[in-house]
Structure formats: structure tokens, C-alpha cells
Chain A
């Protein structure tokens, strides 16, 4: 998988995790049953039992420690969950922007590449066998390599 595609997959995976974390963290704020227990639902418990034992509320989706780790806090876990949710939403916004930017860059790179290759083809039709044709084909090939490294294959025009 190329670098850009990997980056997009990581962003999407991160967005999913943040969404899950948001849902879990927001619930206790409205829940009368007790925030601390509800907050622990926000982590992926089956996959990480050791982390659950540590109190998952102490770690925000962005990895920052929160004050709710102190067991004697009363309303603090609720506030902490809200703060975590706010941080998660901020992260979500930033990551969403990054994903859109990545996709937008690849769309732009692909259509520029297509235009470049068409222009190169026509130069070579008029300058068959010339040095200029060879040079422009080399430039087109280098551009294609760049786009494939960053974005993978471009869709057909």
C-alpha cells in the first residue's frame, strides 16, 4: 500500500476510534447511574484488559492524562469525560480536515498528471524521435511515479 493510502487508512481508523471514544465519553454526562463506570466503557476493553485495569478514564483519546485518575474526585469524572469529549471532537475536526486535504491533493495531482501526459503525447506526435520528446516523456514518467507513490493509481479520466 502506498504512503498516501496508508495515511488515509490511519486517519480513517483514528476517526473511527475517536467516534467510539466520543460516544462512550459523552454518555456518562447524562447518565444518572454513575459516571466512572460509564466512562470505562469508552475503551476497547476486550482488546486491552491491562489498560482497563488502570482506569481508562485517565487517558483521553489523544493520549493526554486527565485529572479524573484521582479516585476521590466526585463530579470530576463527569467534567473529565466532557473535557475528553471536547478534546476528541477537536481531534476529530483536525483529522477530518487532514483526510479531506489528502484526498483533495490526490484529486488535483491526478488531473494535473492526466493533462501533463496528454500534452506530452501531443508534443511527441509533432516532434517524433526528438530529444524534446524523450525529455518530456521522462518528465511525465517522473510525475506519474510521484503521484503513484503519494496516491496510488489515478482513476481513469
Chain B
């Protein structure tokens, strides 16, 4: 089972036990999970599983389609539910990964911008989206450099480094927060 499916399974199991998520289980903070949110998380798991299956078959457009269906699906009425925002941010990140695999940096960057709108707090999800943005800008910088556009390539390179530095800072902070017994 992939890490993402394990994440969704873990989230659903905890939700099904009728216990509030806490900060250790989600980056979202503590609150109760209602029925519509449970249903959305279940659908998300199914869509990510479908994407896995299509990816394994080499059907990347199909995998992206499954994830885009999740982005376009009706969401719980409360748009501020952290788990839903995390799932949407993570889904955008995954679509961007598929796009990067196809050397489509523009499509990837569009999805990453969309994902960052769902992840405004310094969580793993934001860090991961920034990491992917850095990779997308690096890809763009390399393509521009190959095309002889040195100034544009340099600008893209700086954007790449900026996003990657932000990703390092966020993830480093999360590692510290989650391993307090390992020292200051």
C-alpha cells in the first residue's frame, strides 16, 4: 500500500473510531470529523487508489483524470475543514508530480499554485508543494538554458532555489516538532 493510501486509511480509521484528530495524526489540529467529511475522505482514498492502479498500468492521463475528478467533486459544506484542505493540497501535489514526470512544468506549476491555496499554514503539505515548485522551476530553468535564454533561465533558477529553501525550512521545523525527545 502506498504512503498516501496508508495516510488516508489511517485518517479514516481514526475518524471511524469517532475520536477527534489530534496534531499527531494530522497537521490540522484538533476537531471532530463529521459525516460529509468522512465521505469525502473515503472518496479521496478511492480516487487515489484508482490513480495508483492507472499509474501501474502506465496510464498517466487516466491517473491524472482520477485525481482531477477528486478536485472537481463536491466538497463538504464547511470549506475550512483542515483534513479536506490537506487532501486537496496533497491531490494537487500528486497531479503536479505526474505532470513533472511528463516534463510539463507549466501544468505542474498551475496545479502547485492551486494546491498552495489549500495549504497556507507551514505544514508538511505546504512544504511538499514548495519542494515540487522548486523542482518545476528547476526543470524550467534547465529548458530555458538549453534554449539559450540565459536571463530567463537565471530567473527561473532563483525561483527554484527560493522555493526549495522554503521547503527545507518548513520540513526541518516539522521534523523538530515531531521528534522533541531527540533534543533541542
Give the B-binding residues of A (Cβ under 8 A).
3-4, 97, 100-102, 104-109, 111-113, 115-116, 118-120, 122-123, 125-127, 136, 139-140, 143, 145-147, 149-151, 155, 157
Contacts and interface: CB of A to CB of B under 8 A. Distances in A.
B183 interface: yes
A146 B184 CA distance: 10
A114 to B, nearest CB: 8
Contacts of B182: 3, 145-147, 149-150
B164 A119 contact: yes
Given A143-B176, A146-B183, 19 more contacts: A3-B181, A4-B179, A4-B181, A100-B14, A100-B24, A104-B24, A109-B178, A112-B170, A116-B167, A118-B131, A118-B135, A119-B168, A120-B164, A120-B168, A122-B131, A123-B165, A126-B138, A127-B161, A150-B179
Nearest to A157: B3
B48 interface: no
Interface of A is mostly: helix
Interface residues of B, number: 38
A101 B167 contact: no
Contact of B24 (A101, A120, A143, A145): A101
Contacts, number: 118
30 contacts: A3-B181, A97-B22, A100-B24, A100-B25, A104-B10, A104-B22, A104-B24, A104-B25, A107-B7, A107-B10, A108-B178, A109-B175, A109-B178, A112-B170, A115-B124, A115-B131, A115-B171, A116-B167, A116-B171, A119-B167, A120-B164, A123-B134, A125-B138, A140-B168, A145-B182, A147-B182, A149-B182, A150-B179, A150-B181, A155-B3
